[in-house]
Structure 1
């Protein structure tokens, strides 16, 4: 559920004499099929918000209001909005070569970016398969895992294990990996072979009494248990995010990932790190798997690679994974028209240069504790149950009762997550993400150029809006 799925203007705080519907809002209401959003009743009283421009950490809408981008677009705009140097690189590349596929060919930007990503990735993850975005990268990883084992003479290994509540994409394959039943029910039957294990939500496992190490050992053991139950001869891959997005920035200790790595090695199962969100600086490093102490067999990534100045994703595989594909006569019969698009690849190279030149990784590392501490101040609100996350990737879990950790019922969720919060936050000047795909959370992931002033602004807006939200429930 995205923050643009806002409620009626009166409920979000606007006055009855709101400005007339803009031409773009009118056109969108009549013709635009929005993503992950309800489209009923998008009229003058409840128009689709129109964002017209961005600069740095801020956005402006068609009513001239300035809004703090507390979600980096959608965990994407690492370098901030309005970076003309990236736009100029795109224009230059488009004027030289706007498009050519990597279907048996390459372009200079695609070749250079593949080399760059290989150097950034941990271990011997040296082989880069480009996609248009993150879901396609996850789809590609599962297909690679299946063919990898067929080429090795183990054709029964096709299943994939992922974590409860985890989101991995919307294609049929990636959705089968996703651990969100409500998101999948309208599209079933999906690709067979996806199985779920518990995640590492420490707040929702009070029996561990705050012991992240104990929870990590328990959760990792559930992965081995699932492999044994399904039969190791049938399991191809385990897919996990270094910090799980859906459910609200769920972290785990490095010992958890080390244990999962051992389990995968013991049972000849590929370990896939879904770094679509966590990659490219959101945790202060190029890839968060390295920060959390493990080397996967495959990394999937997208989003921050270009800071949103061009659509691009990738699957990065180890030398072990590529090896059987290098045999004579072998092809990976899979690809995307826009994968490795030369304009997007050129922009990605320029974006990675910019991030290093301005030390955006260092900015996150030096300010991450302050970001967490600023959000922690909200714990005094009775509606706030937990504040968690890492780096510039944080979540606030909202509860009905802080003492018992009781969450909200369906009607309260409807009123909060799809009613009051998105519109109220946006009207107050903050774009972020109320979400209830697990328990009810607000997610925050600002551009990596953000600092203490932006943290304070976020905290004040959240405090005001959550105070009102508590009155509602």
Structure 2
């Protein structure tokens, strides 16, 4: 994100920091290495946005400017910013037991949270392995899938299948599952065994050689590509399929009707585990605690993180079926895997309180009730020549940008660079809307606001996007 609009006329200190804006910017330039960011923006520009406060669905930067948080931080702050209750729970737990590992010991908040998550999970997914984030949860599922098959006397089942352009994390194992070549090439050779199949982007179905007559036919075609890959690689070599209920990267691809029913059939037929990667989709983003319930399938494992605490403390989890857990119930078999801070007492306590808020305020119900209105409001943008497609589910939408609505012609790399980073990121920032302009795939704007909002906020988002996208089109 470019930040030419930042000014530095602020009070002598910023937020709770004892340093001034200028001092913080200099310290950031001297020492901070940001994630997934071009350091040159900070090195060569006036500084970076420094966010100092959050309240509800708004955030404020160090200059006092207010923004609508249209991405819930990073698909995380589902219950909204500024929940004093969660801060107080964290403080109380830290006073009582700030830390203890789950290495042969346990503590109450991890036990209670495991029980709570198992009660929400479908089918026989009754065992919870904690981590500190989504990438670690995926890494755990990958390792466990391979180990499980070894314990079944089928050690050649080690490969995993995921979808084109899908993002599943950055640890070496999770990176092998991620389907974005540009994110992997600088780290090659990555962990072997990752294979890709087409995603469920119906808007681009023709370019995949897929049927375009209706969604259900397309969904069956896409699911059958998983069977095709299993047969091509050999069923005795494939351990698991990793799928997000709604694929994030590429711009919110919902599953067509019948897609996951067919995928489940395929996995059962060939003895392949199905992992539902719900790091983004769980905890209300699609209107259920676990999005697999929204699409009526029962996976063998669920990976989750982000919204579990609404970001008030880091945690992740892999939820595992009784079938996969069975070999570990007896004898000397152990899963030699873990994380120092997995199931951290403070994070687990915050997660429990956050889930209480979900139930008390009926946040899942709010998403299910209002998602059609959110979609309808965003679809008003279809009258703009730059908007090709509006898609998504729950409170999770993507807006694909095109050069030509009739032909669906997209932007080349140079054009995408100028559009997204040269204009849109800064223009959205200046307009007070924090969201994501992304080109992992075709250029899209992604929206995933806190689950507490309703029609007035939908209108505000639409009006801001309309103004910025109208100007973007005039600059092409």
Per the alignment, in what secondary structure is the counterpart of residue 160 of structure 1?
strand
In structure 1, the residue matched to 2:133 is: 133
Q: What is the CA deviation profile of residues 299-353 of structure 1, one whole-angstrom value per residue up to 9, with x for unaligned ones?
A: 0000000000000000000000101122301000000001000000000000000
2:186 maps to what in 1? 186
SS of 1:273 mapped into structure 2: strand
Instruction: Report the equivalent of 2:473.
Output: 470
CA pair 82-41 structure 1, distance change in 2 beyond 3 A? closer
Query: 1:215 aligned to 2:215?
Result: no
| Residue 324 (str. 1) matches residue 319 (str. 2) | no
Is 1:147 the counterpart of 2:117 in the alignment? no
Instruction: Work out the CA distance in 1 between the residues paired with 2:9 and 2:160.
Output: 51
Cα displacement (A) at 1:45: 4.4
Closer, same or farther in 2 for the Cα pair 1:19/1:383, shift >3 Å? farther
SS of 1:126 mapped into structure 2: strand
Deviations 1:124-153 (A, max 9, x none): 100000000000000000100000000010
Q: TM-score, normalised by structure 1?
A: 0.96
State the match for 2:356 in structure 1: 353
Is 1:411 aligned to residue 444 of structure 2?
no
Please give the alpha-carbon distance, in whole angstroms, between the structure 1 residues aligned to 2:158 and 2:303.
18
The offset of 1:417, in angstroms, is 1.9
- What is the aligned partner in structure 1 of residue 38 from structure 2? 38
TM-score for the superposition, normalised by structure 2: 0.95
The higher-RCO structure (CA 8 Å, 6+ apart) is 1
The CA deviation at 1:210 is 5.4
Aligned partner of 2:346 in structure 1 is 343
Aligned residue for 2:465, secondary structure, equals helix
| Contact kept in structure 1, 2:71 and 2:435, CA below 8 Å | yes
User: Is the counterpart of residue 271 in structure 1 residue 274 in structure 2?
Assistant: yes
Task: Specify the alignment match of 1:89 in structure 2.
Answer: 89
- Correspondence list, 1:52-201, <5 A: 52-201=52-201
**Cα RMSD, aligned residues only:** 1.3
Equivalent residue, structure 1, for 2:394: 391
| Structure 2 residue 457 is matched with structure 1 residue 454 | yes
The DSSP-based 3-state class of the residue aligned with 2:184 is helix
Q: Tell me the CA shift for residue 413 of structure 1.
A: 1.1
Cα distance in 2 between the residues matched to 1:19 and 1:459: 31
- The answer (yes or no) to whether the contact 2:166–2:247 under 8 Å persists in 1 is yes
Query: 1:25 offset after TM fit, Å?
Result: 2.4
* Structure-2 separation of matches of 1:28 and 1:453: 36
Verify: 1:372 aligned to 2:366, yes or no.
no
Question: Quick check: 1:26–1:43 contact (8 Å CA) kept in 2?
Answer: no
- In structure 2, list runs of 5 or more residues that go unmatched: 11-20
